[in-house]
Structure 1
Amino acid sequence: MSTSVSARELGLALPPRPSRLAPTLTAVVVGVIVLWATAGLPIDWSDVGAIPGELLHYGTLMFADPNWEKLPRALFETWRSISMAWIGAILCVLVSIPLGMLAARGVGPVWLRLPLRGLFAVIRALPEVIIALLLLTVTGLTPFTGALALGIAGIGTQGKWVYETIESVQEGASEAVRAAGGGTAEVTRWALWPAAAPALMSFALYRFEINIRTSAVLGLVGAGGIGSMLANYTNFRQWDTVGMLLIVVVVATMTIDAISGAIRRRITQGARMRGARRSSKGRQDVVGIR
């Protein structure tokens, strides 16, 4: 026969029940702010019900009978947007990797690490469109403006990914290099970089995927590419051509994402999977010999 004895009967003090006051007050304050911000917007709520009908109307105009006569020009502009995104990704990676490694704890000194992290935060706070508008006064309406804006805007996020990846590397290899008499440069080269390189390459390809989508937006402000063509035909209300352009953008973006995703999986998992296959094949051969 089992008997259960409560903590109170044993004379033990029960821990106090956690207070829900702070989370409740936070939720109330956030809700009030959202309601206040919504009430301050000049929104005619009577028009909300007409949105599905308008979407169906313009969707029919764009996709019922797309105009494929402009397809060669659309493919050329899409290639220009991809080139712009690729150049921006390369510029971003070339700058962010060394700066991000210097911003990592244990690599760069404090007087350099903190300003670099602050610089990354400032760049992340600026959208690509704002950077492109600032660059337009210097470089003009050219695809180089879009590539430069993508490269600068990506430094903030990419640099943060780099120093977080470096700081998450196991300490064993770093301690081994230091024990052999290596300094910070040797630790970075022979311990941190080999361990972090696959993840950093994967992040670089992911940055390229982001640039593909953002390059279309930058075209709306005159940076060139498929976005400029899309903005022009939208302004002229040529919806059949706009529908064709949207189809090209979606297909190109999904294709690039699929290819880039396959490459990233190959980089991060390929060596391990190949090693597992070889190990499995070796075990099968040993079993066959026995």
Structure 2
Amino acid sequence: MTLSTTARGIGLELPRHPSRLVPTVVAVIVGVVVLAAAAGLPIPWSDLGSLPGQIAHYLTLMFADPNWEKLPQALFETWRSISMAWIGAIGCVIVSIPLGMLAANNVGPVWVRLPLRGLFAVIRAVPEVIIALLLLTVTGLTPFTGALALAIAGIGTQAKWVYETVESVQEGASEAVKAAGGNTAQVTRWALWPAAAPTLLSFALYRFEINIRTSAVLGLVGAGGIGSMLANYTNFREWDTVGMLLIVVVIATMLMDAVSGAIRRRIMRGPRVKAIVEPKKERADVAGTR
């Protein structure tokens, strides 16, 4: 006797099994789209077998005997890339925090929120490289072009993080300020900003980490920094120098990520409270008096 027969015998109606039709149709459509996209690309599938050997060949050329003669210049260009990323992060944060707070539902009016969110969406849709190429016609081939491109491109994402963080703040402090007669500006200053500031500062440091990686890419289009040096030696096929530059880029990026990550964790955790421990000598004297 099955479970369904027993349930019907006592007057119970078992729930129907969920239909798998919709997930199956969606999976089939996605599979067809992927296959159509792969079929439309001019990919030489016959050459895929030799790809691992080619990769191993070029890795050997780059890292078997790196050329360390250009290390001082590489370190200088890396410093320029980090400076470019830092300036871009500061400019992005200065602009995105006030605009992002105005775009929050609990701060700005609807006629301000909607245009700002539309502007942020447009900025997010344009890659940093495209913005840098547009700025090259105005500012020229300088690191300032890269910093400005990083600042503009980061506003879209950073401002979105800002208004989502402000909207997620608990309403208790805001209601208290409103009950005391505070207006929107006072609620923002004394309730929303103190609660959202640690998260926003953490996001600002995360933007700096993103800019460090992106600054190397912007250098490939002539924005300066280690990316420009890497592009030049790649074009000249000096693979031993390219390997050295890649080592410098990886180490510098990992160091900056580690430092920034430690600062972000400290900001989110807050100050630590140190436990008060009595010296051993004083504890021994107290034990002796007993």
Identity %: 81
- Per-residue CA distance 1:61-118 (angstroms, 9 max, x = gap): 1111111110110000000000000000001000000010001111000111011111
The offset of 1:6, in angstroms, is 5.5
Structure 1 segments unaligned to the other structure (5+ residues): 283-287
SS at match of 2:13: coil
In structure 2, the partner of 1:173 is 173
**Pairwise mapping of residues 102-181 of structure 1 onto structure 2 (< 5 A)?**
102-181=102-181
Show structure 2 runs of 5+ residues with no match: 279-285
Q: Distance in 1 between matches of 2:217 and 2:155?
A: 18
Question: Is 1:99 paired with 2:70?
Answer: no
Shift of residue 159, structure 1, vs aligned partner: 0.5
**Count of aligned pairs:** 276
SS at match of 1:182: coil
- Once residues 92 and 7 of structure 2 are traced to their aligned partners in structure 1, the CA distance between those partners, rounded to angstroms, is 60
Which residues of 2 match residues 211-226 of structure 1 at below 5 A? 211-226=211-226
Task: Provide the residue aligned with 1:183 in structure 2.
Answer: 183
How far apart are residue 12 of structure 1 and its match? 3.7
Which residue of structure 2 lines up, in the alignment, with residue 269 of structure 1?
Answer: 269
- Give the match for residue 24 of structure 1: 24
Deviations 1:179-230 (A, max 9, x none): 1111111110001000000000000000000000000000000000000000
Shift of the alpha carbon at 1:10? 4.0
SS at match of 2:240: helix
Q: Distance in 2 between matches of 1:8 and 1:138?
A: 78
3-state DSSP class of the match of 1:106? coil
Change (3 A) 1:170 1:7: farther
SS of equivalent residue, structure 2 residue 270: helix
Within 2, Cα distance between the matches of 1:169 and 1:194? 10
CA distance in 2, matches of 1:262, 1:94: 22
Q: Equivalent residue for 2:65?
A: 65
TM-score by length of structure 1 reads 0.91
How big is the shift at 1:270? Answer: 3.2
Residue in 1 that maps onto 2:252? 252
Aligned AA for 1:11? G
Q: How many angstroms does 1:19 deviate by?
A: 1.6
CA deviations 1:166-187 (Å, max 9, x no partner) are: 0111111111111111111111
> Once structures 1 and 2 are overlaid, which stretch shifts more, 12-21 or 105-114?
12-21
Q: What is the deviation of 1:18? A: 1.9
User: Paired residue for 1:87?
Assistant: 87
TM-score (norm 2): 0.91
Distance 1:6 1:175 in 2: 56
1:31 Cα shift?
A: 0.5
Give the aligned residue type for 2:179. Answer: A
Letter in 2 for 1:154: G
AA of the residue aligned to 2:234: T
1:24-56 CA-partner distances (Å, limit 9, x unpaired): 111100100000010011011111111111111
Cα RMSD of the aligned pairs, angstroms, is 1.8
Give the Cα–Cα distance (whole angstroms) in 2 for the partners of residues 133 and 126 of structure 1.
Answer: 11
Deviation >6 Å, runs of 4+? none
